[in-house]
Amino acid sequence: MADLALAEGLEKMKKAVTHAKSEFSSIRTGRAAPALVERIVVDYYGSEVPMQQLAGFSVPEARQLIITPFDKGAMGAIEKAIQHSDLGLNPSNDGHSIRLSFPPLTQDRRKELVKVVKHMAEEGRIALRQVRRQTRHELDALEKDGDLSGDELARAEKELDKIIHAQEAEIDKALAVKETELLED
């Protein structure tokens, strides 16, 4: 029973780590990347649709992203969504595709983005702690019901601590990579 609770906790923690890493990819590093715009929500004929369902993306140069809508009628809606996003970019429309040019980041902006990424990492760690708390409650309930002895509970809690430390290290490693990416010219 304890192993099942630990396995569920590990699965939830892995999802939290994956979510944190995907959040990191939405932060601009001065290079063009489709991940920056894929999740922008576009008002497409009255319904909210992620941009990745409406268009294809290509990166011809390091600082340029081309968005090619599958439906040319969505061009205006995609442009408007990009303008209202927090990217701070001005799209240029040539009738067939939308071109985004990424200016180099200033040092101050890089430092701001590092703070944002650190905050995202902390949110990921908080999510991990919440999963740990839930798993601990499940283990305590198992002991209270008599399904788990005190020794088994202690062993399971040590295992849970190992799991959370490994997952936190995963977030820290992704944070370090993103920080390095943001601070390099």
Q: How far is residue 139's CA from residue 46's CA, in Å, rounded to a whole number? A: 47
The first and second tokens of residue 74, run together, are: 């969505």
- 40-73: pLDDT as tens digits: 899 988 899 999 899 999 988 888 899 999 988 8
pTM of the model: 0.70
- 124-167: pLDDT as tens digits: 999 999 999 999 999 898 888 888 888 888 999 999 999 999 99
The first and second tokens of residue 2, run together, are: 């304890």
Q: How far is residue 77's CA from residue 10's CA, in Å, rounded to a whole number? A: 40
CATH number of 34-101: 3.30.1360.40
For the chain, the straight-line distance linking the first and the last C-alpha, in angstroms and rounded, comes to 51
The residues that bridge with 49 in the sheet, in sequence order, are 42
Q: Where in the chain are the domains?
A: 2-25+106-183, 34-101
Which amino acid makes up residue 139?
L
Q: Which CATH architecture has domain 2-25+106-183?
A: Orthogonal Bundle (1.10)
Q: How many CB atoms lie within 10 A of CB 179?
A: 17
